[in-house]
Amino acid sequence: MKLDLKSKLLFLSTVPILFILILSFMILSQNLSKKRDLEFTKHNIHEAIAISRVVHFLQIERATTVVLIASKNLNNEDKTLLSARESLDKAIDDTKNVLSLYTHKNDNDSIKLLDEIKSRKKLNLLNMQIADVKKYYTNNIALLLDQIKAIPSMMDDKENRNYIQTYSYLCSAKEALGQTRATLVEVFTNNNILDNIFITFVGALETYNSNTNNFTATTSKEILDFYKNHFKGEAVDETFKMIDIALKNRNNTDFGIDPFYWFEKSTESINLLKDTENELFNHVTGLINEKLDLIFYKIITIASFFIFTIIALAFLMALVIRKILSSTNTLERRYSDSVLLLEQYKSTVDRSFIVSKTDAEGIITYVNDEFCNMTGYSREELIGKNHNVIRHPDMKKEFFSDLWHTIKDLKLPWFGEVKNRKRDGSFYWVKAVINPIMDNSGNILEYIAIRTDITQQKKITQYFEEQLMISVKNFDCSMHLSKEYEKAIDISTILSRTDKDGNITYANDKFLEITGYSLDELLGKNHNILKADDTDEKLYKNLWATITKGKIWQGIIKNRAK
């Protein structure tokens, strides 16, 4: 079995890093999405600004053209007209650049409309009726305003969408005032106001008032304050004073108002509304830029934080992984060594003992070669069979009941000797150890039995037991004779015993009688206590040399009595 801890640990160590990467990607994606939305909103506002400039200069050119026609000045080279046309053409080119930059399409409806407006010189507008001229400019302005009004529907940013909606009210009010300017130029030039012109005039004023009310009701406080503080003064007062005169004196044939004076003051008033438009756009653009800056710094902060976190985590994980892998290498080496040792242990046991394993029900699952050699069965004949296949009839049922009670009920090892039967019917004896193998819950998984062949020992033991029974019959007689011999020797012989160092351990009565010593005086004393003064030392040395070699010494020794 090969350890795969390295790959598992490496996999687990990457999970936190992957989690942080995914989380950082989600947060960054969310902020990048907000950034794209704001940039798209900013682009839409730039489009609205660019189109509003075209509308503004269309309004100026419309009024200038109406003034020239009303005054019978049909000169296409008029400096005021040329200046108005040049400003409008430049605004158209700038707007086309903005639109093409953001839409990436040259066939955009707005671009087509701008191209048509730029080719207006072909129409020779000075030679047309004032009503037709106003209609031409007014229709184109209406189409451009529709483009601006459609922008909020493409925006997800509610706050800025409301600003564009507010602008559309202001732009419509400004256009209504521009239509009024063109209409009254004609009225004050001709000093009469026809019914159809009066109806157009009144309708433009109603549109102006309605959109102005909507603008003031929906715009922000900052823009409303700017509007109230800016859209006032002499020009505004004069403009609405002359409008009031036209309303109240519609049947007059002489209004007493110079059309150029009206054009000048009304244009100043319209320019004040244009200033409010510019302020609104500047305010919105500023808010968007602030949001974009905030998101930018947030993205930088989040990205820096997660990059730092990932680097720090990666560094820490590298240290942990290095430590873990080092420990894993040690464990693998120990595991390999343990497996090698276990294989050697198993090989040693298999060579030295008779081994078998059974499942929890006693069915054989493994036998080694020694088991097969002993029983005469092949491994295939034994695997899957009950262990009773080798049970000898001499073994009683009570023996096996006690065995199973020990290993199955008590879950303890069983030790004992068993007589088994070989395949050929002969028998053999084994000394066995049967041990239950359990899981962590204490449930028995299997049993392993290790046996040694004691058949020869059993035969030898039986032989000696038989011989012993024969010897016992003559034992009493032999013991009687031995005691008689010992008594005879003790009576007729001067007898003593010493230990290996020559110290006296026993002396019989005959010995005590001759030497004159008592037994207490002699016990523990060296035998040299009895040696005569003129004893031959060589004789004693020969004596000790002989008996220390386990041989019998015979000779005559001179001793002395007490």
- DSSP per-residue string spanning 438-493: E-TTS-EEEEEEEEEE-HHHHHHHHHHHHHHHHHHHHHHHHHHHHHHHHHHHHHHS
- Judged by average pLDDT, the poorest of 112-121, 277-286, 344-353, 448-457 is 344-353
Kindly report, residue by residue over 238-258, the tens digit of the pLDDT. Answer: 999 999 999 888 877 788 899
pLDDT at 92 over 70: yes
pLDDT at 2 over 50: no
Residue 429's pLDDT is 93
Q: Return mean pLDDT, the chain.
A: 83
**How many other C-beta atoms lie within 10 A of the C-beta of residue 338?**
11
Strands 364-367 and 496-498, sheet pairing: unpaired
pLDDT at 346 over 80: no
Average pLDDT over residues 522-532: 80
Which tops the pLDDT comparison, 325 or 502? 502
Domain topology for 354-453:
Beta-Lactamase (3.30.450)
Residue 228 pLDDT level (bands cut at 50, 70, 90):
very high
Take residue 398 and report the two structure tokens written for it.
Answer: 């009570």
pTM assigned to the model: 0.51
291 phi/psi in degrees, rounded to 5: -65, -40
* Cβ atoms 364, 380 nearer than 8 A: no
Which tops the pLDDT comparison, 278 or 487? 278
Kindly report, residue by residue over 155-177, the tens digit of the pLDDT. Answer: 666 666 787 788 889 989 999 99
Take residue 239 and report the two structure tokens written for it.
Answer: 């403009």
- Judged by average pLDDT, the poorest of 37-46, 50-59, 433-442 is 37-46
Kindly report, residue by residue over 94-127, the tens digit of the pLDDT. Answer: 999 888 876 544 446 788 899 999 999 888 898 9
Write the single-letter amino acid at 381: E
Instruction: Calculate helix-pair angle for 259-352, 234-248, nearest 10 degrees.
Output: 120
- In sequence order, the 6+-apart residues with CB closer than 8 A to the CB of 452 are 353, 354, 430, 431
**How many other C-beta atoms lie within 10 A of the C-beta of residue 232?**
12
493-562 belongs to CATH 3.30.450.20: yes
Residue 21's pLDDT is 72
Q: State whether residue 424 is helix, strand or coil.
A: coil
Round to whole Å and give the CA distance between 192 and 201.
13
Per domain, the residue ranges of the chain are 19-308, 354-453, 454-492, 493-562
- Judged by average pLDDT, the poorest of 100-104, 290-294, 543-547 is 100-104
- Judged by average pLDDT, the poorest of 159-163, 218-222, 475-479 is 475-479
Same CATH fold assignment for domains 354-453 and 493-562: yes
